[in-house]
């Protein structure tokens, strides 16, 4: 009897905690922002995206952001940036 009661209490607590955690996650969704970055001499797309992700606190995998950046900017050759090229980088920041 005690085991069944303990299991019931555990299940109720788990549901309560899950509900709180789910509400926390929903209220802390990252905000999507677009950031402009200008290529300097010798700049690579990887460096530019990495720097902007660090500044914004975007914790995603850099490869995901690179993919989105190439797609958003319609870059045919992401490895060939000229000085002064302006790149739009899609970031996610915590509210």
The token pair at 82 is 């000229």
CA-based torsion, 82, 85, 91, 95: positive or negative: positive
**Strand 31-38 versus strand 86-93 pairing type:** antiparallel
pLDDT of amino acid 40: 96
The answer to whether 27 touches 91, Cβ cutoff 8 Å, is: no
pLDDT of amino acid 28: 72
Query: Over its length of 95 residues, how does the chain's per-residue pLDDT go in tens digits?
Result: 556 565 555 555 555 555 554 555 556 788 999 999 999 999 999 999 999 999 999 999 999 999 999 999 999 998 999 999 999 999 999 87
Nearest Cα neighbor of 82 from 54, 50, 48, 56 is 48
C-alpha to C-alpha distance for 75 and 14, rounded to whole angstroms: 48
Model confidence pTM above 0.75: no
């Amino acid at each position: 009897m005690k085991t069944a009661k303990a299991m019931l209490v555990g299940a109720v607590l788990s549901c309560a905690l899950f509900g709180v955690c789910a509400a926390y996650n929903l209220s802390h969704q990252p905000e999507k922002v677009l950031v402009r970055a200008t290529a300097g001499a010798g700049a690579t797309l990887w460096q530019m995206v990495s720097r902007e992700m660090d500044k914004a606190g975007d914790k995603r995998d850099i490869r995901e952001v690179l993919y989105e950046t190439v797609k958003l900017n319609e870059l045919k050759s992401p490895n060939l940036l000229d000085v002064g090229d302006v790149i739009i980088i899609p970031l996610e920041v915590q509210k």
